[in-house]
Amino acid sequence: MRTVTVSLFHFLLFIIVAVCFSCSCCDGNSNVLCIESEREALLKLKNDLIDPSNKLSSWVEGGNCCKWNGVVCHNLTGHVDQLHLAAEPYEWLKLGGTINPSLLQLKHLTSLNLSYNNFSSIQIPDFFGLLVSLTYLDLSLAQFQGPIPHNLGNLSKLQYLDLRCDLSSWGMEAKSLEWVSRLSSLQYLDLSGVDLYKATDWLQVTFNLPSLLELHLFGCSLENQIPDYSGNMSFLEVVDLSLNSLNSTMPNSLFSLDHLQSLDLSNNIC
Ligand SMILES: *[C@@H]1O[C@H](CO)[C@@H](O)[C@H](O)[C@H]1NC(C)=O
Ligand SMILES: *[C@@H]1O[C@H](CO)[C@@H](O)[C@H](O)[C@H]1NC(C)=O
Ligand SMILES: *[C@@H]1O[C@H](CO)[C@@H](O)[C@H](O)[C@H]1NC(C)=O
Ligand SMILES: *[C@@H]1O[C@H](CO)[C@@H](O)[C@H](O)[C@H]1NC(C)=O
Ligand SMILES: *[C@@H]1O[C@H](CO)[C@@H](O)[C@H](O)[C@H]1NC(C)=O
Ligand SMILES: CC(=O)N[C@H]1CO[C@H](CO)[C@@H](O)[C@@H]1O
């Protein structure tokens, strides 16, 4: 009886190992097949993008989109999980054009990186606020213009938001920061270079961001005093408020943040 049990165990082990090798299920991402509707969505996206360096040449009809340049699928479900379409800082043939709302078909997208591209002909599309699975959104130095859509505040899973823009271009602005206060999962926020001159509510809004570790508001044209947010952002480690017009009235609590490692207030009125 015992030998039967042992050999049955070995038999099962053999089957598992054999299945693993034959379909390479242990190999993760590269072997999952993409989902057809998501492939079509990506092709529509490509259609509206200007791609001077042919970065998206692998994006063709009928292919396995999980193997396409910049596309990362979930290793078990095959859903598109991440889109890494960032340019490199030194690259001068950047992606541009417009962004097709077909992006919304990627319902499981957790990470979108378009940084260093050239979207100077458009604003951040309103529909980005519907990409509710996102945990990472990096649109830094991608030259988007105009107002930041406030419905980005609906991205409740967002942990990382980088909308930093080039100081010399004054590309983007926000007239309110109420939407930021709704991003309760945020750990990293960078709005450096975004014109916040008119976002006077930054003094009143309660930034209930208990997970926030880094706050970068370099060169945002902020005025008046530094508001007291410390109670609701008590885990802050890095704060950069340099190059604004903040005055010397400062909440004492700013200096009692237990986890603070770096505080940059240089180039202000104070
Ligand atoms: C899938 O990816 C996760 C991490 O993203 C990893 O922990 C897991 O082992 C992977 N599973 C397979 C079957 O490759
Ligand atoms: C986005 O891509 C840029 C350029 O490759 C990289 O430096 C940056 O770390 C990426 N952002 C995230 C959130 O991974
Ligand atoms: C960005 O794209 C615009 C056209 O949309 C073009 O005029 C401009 O030269 C491009 N800039 C860079 C730095 O590639
Ligand atoms: C997203 O946010 C906007 C305001 O910022 C709000 O009016 C809208 O109803 C929200 N949409 C959803 C689907 O939650
Ligand atoms: C800083 O600005 C606030 C709001 O305008 C004002 O109440 C405060 O007196 C100012 N502090 C100094 C030192 O100018
Ligand atoms: C510790 C602290 O100041 N918590 C405040 C955070 O913000 C909420 C309002 O959203 C206040 O009710 C809390 O008192």
Structural domain boundaries of the chain?
A: 8-197
Ligand nearest to the CA of 268: 5
Mean pLDDT of the chain: 88
* Confidence bin at 270 (pLDDT 50/70/90): low
Rounded mean pLDDT, 146-160: 97
* Amino acid at the residue 174: A
What is the per-residue pLDDT across 77-114, written as a single tens digit (0 to 9) for each? 999 999 999 999 888 899 999 999 999 999 999 999 99
pLDDT at 169: 77
Q: What number does the ligand 4 atom closest to the CA of 130 have?
A: 13
Task: Confirm or reject: Cβ of 232 under 6 Å from ligand 6.
Answer: yes
Predicted local distance difference test score (pLDDT) of residue 248: 85
Lowest mean pLDDT among 120-134, 143-157, 186-200, 255-269: 255-269
- CA-nearest residue for atom 2, ligand 2, is 86
Nearest bound ligand to CA 231?
6
CA distance 88 to 175: 30
- Residues 152 and 158: their CA atoms lie apart, in Å, by 9
Is ligand 4 within 6 A of the CB of residue 200? Answer: no
Which ligand approaches the C-alpha of residue 178 most closely?
Answer: 4
From first CA to last CA, the distance across the chain in angstroms is 84
Evaluate if residue 214 carries a pLDDT over 80: yes
Q: Can you identify the CATH homologous superfamily of domain 8-197?
A: Ribonuclease Inhibitor (3.80.10.10)
Strand 49-50 relative to strand 96-97, pairing: antiparallel
pLDDT in tens, 227-254: 887 778 889 999 999 999 999 888 887 7
Distance 218 CA to ligand 4 centre (A): 28
Strands 223-224 and 245-246: parallel
Ligand 3 atom nearest to CA at 94: 14
pLDDT category, 187, cuts 50, 70, 90?
very high
Contact 71, 65 (CB under 8 A): yes
* Ligand 6 pocket mutation, candidates 178, 183, 208, 257, criterion most atoms within 8 A of CB: 208
Predicted model pTM: 0.87
For ligand 2, the distance from its centroid to the CA atom of residue 142, given in whole angstroms, is 12
Give the closest ligand to the alpha carbon of residue 180: 4
Instruction: Give me ligand 3 centre to Cα 157, in Å.
Output: 33
Question: With a 6 A CB cut-off, is 75 part of the ligand 1 pocket?
Answer: yes
Rounded to the nearest angstrom, the distance between the alpha carbon of 88 and the centre of ligand 6 is 40
